[in-house]
Amino acid sequence: MSSDRTPLIAGNWKMHKSIAEAEEFIAALLPRVSDAEGVEVGICPPFLALQAMVHSTRGSRVQVFAQTMHQADHGAFTGEVAASMLTEIDVHGVILGHSERRELFGETDRALALKVPAALAAGLTPILCVGETEDERERGDTQRKLRHQVQEDLARLPDDRLGDVVIAYEPIWAIGTGQVATPEQAQEAIAFVRALVADRSREQAGRVRVLYGGSVKPDNAAELLALPDVDGALVGGASLDAASFAAIVAAAR
C-alpha cells in the first residue's frame, strides 16, 4: 500500500443477508472497526438492506455501497435502480461491472462506460471491477483483457476524474474458489491497471485506488495488502462474518 492513498476494505455481500441479519452484522462490526484509523471500510448489502445500513452506520467510519445500478436517471427499466435513488438515501458508492453481473446478467462494457460517469455525476464512488478468466490467464491474455475493460469502461470519463474511481482487480478464477492470486500475480496485474490509468494521466494514476478481490481471507490479507500497488480489498465470502471482515480491516492498518 502507498501512504498517499487511503486503503479501502469493502465487503461485497452479494445476495446474502436479510435486513435483520444485516443489523446483527453491523452491531457486531462497528465496535471491531472503531479504531481502524487510516482505513476506509465499506459494506455492499443487497438493495433492500441499504437504507437500514445507512441508518445504522451513521456517524461511524463504515460506508455503504450498492452492488449495481442503471445508467439512466429514470425511465422504463423494470427492476432497475438509478444513481439518484441511491444518493437520496445517502448511499456512498456502488460496485459496477462485478464479474457476476457481467457473466450472469449480461452487463456490458458499453453500459459500464455510461454507468461510471453517471455514478460520479450523482456523487457516488464507483468500484469498477475488472479481471480475467482462468482460460484468458492460461492463454496469456490477462493484460489484453484488463486493457480492454479499463479502456472501455472509463472511456467517457474526463481524465481529471479518473482518480475518483476505485478499480477492483478480481481474477475470476479466484472469486469464491479459495484459490487466491499469488502476491506476484496480484501486484503485476494491479500495477498494470495503474499503468493503464497513467496512459491517460500520470497524476490521476497516483490517486486512483486499485483493490484486489478474489478469496481474500483473514490469513492472506496482510500479505496482499502489503503489496506496493494494492490499495485495499473487495471481499466476498469472508465479509459475511463480522469477526473475519474486521480481521481483514485490521490487516490494512
d(CA 129, CA 155): 15
Q: Which of 157, 149, 113, 115 is nearest to 132 (CA)?
A: 149
Region of 103-111, 112-120, 130-138, 236-244 interacting with ligand PGA (CB under 6 A)? 236-244
When the beta carbons of 193 and 238 are compared against ligand PGA, the nearer one is 238
d(CA 16, CA 56): 18
d(CA 217, CA 181): 12
Residue 24 designated active-site: no
Residue whose C-beta lies closest to ligand PGA: 236
Q: Does 234 bind ligand PGA (CB under 6 A)?
A: yes
Selected from 30, 69, 127, 175, the binder of ligand PGA by CB under 6 A is 175
Q: Are β-strands 166-169 and 209-213 bridged in parallel, bridged antiparallel, or unpaired?
A: parallel
Q: Does 176 bind ligand PGA (CB under 6 A)?
A: yes
Q: How far is the CB of 88 from ligand PGA (least distance, A)?
A: 26
Q: Does 236 bind ligand PGA (CB under 6 A)?
A: yes
The dihedral over CA atoms of 70, 119, 232, 154, expressed in degrees to the nearest 10, equals 90
Question: What cell numbers appear for 252 in the block?
Answer: 490494512
Residue 134 designated active-site: no
CB 149 within 8 A of CB 193: no
Question: What cell numbers appear for 116 in the block?
Answer: 461510471
Q: Does 237 bind ligand PGA (CB under 6 A)?
A: yes
Q: How far is the CB of 195 from ligand PGA (least distance, A)?
A: 23
CB 34 within 8 A of CB 59: no
| Per-position x/- string for 200-219, each x denoting binding to ligand PGA as judged by CB under 6 A, each - no binding | -------------xxxx---
When the beta carbons of 11 and 117 are compared against ligand PGA, the nearer one is 11
* Pure H helices in 83-133: 83-88, 99-105, 109-122
Q: Does 167 bind ligand PGA (CB under 6 A)?
A: no
* Touching ligand PGA, residues 110-139 (CB under 6 A): none
Q: Does 56 bind ligand PGA (CB under 6 A)?
A: no
Q: Does 9 bind ligand PGA (CB under 6 A)?
A: no
The conformation of residue 44, written as its DSSP 8-state character, comes to E
Catalytically active residues are 98, 170
Chain residues in the site for ligand PGA (CB under 6 A):
12, 170, 175-176, 213-216, 234-238
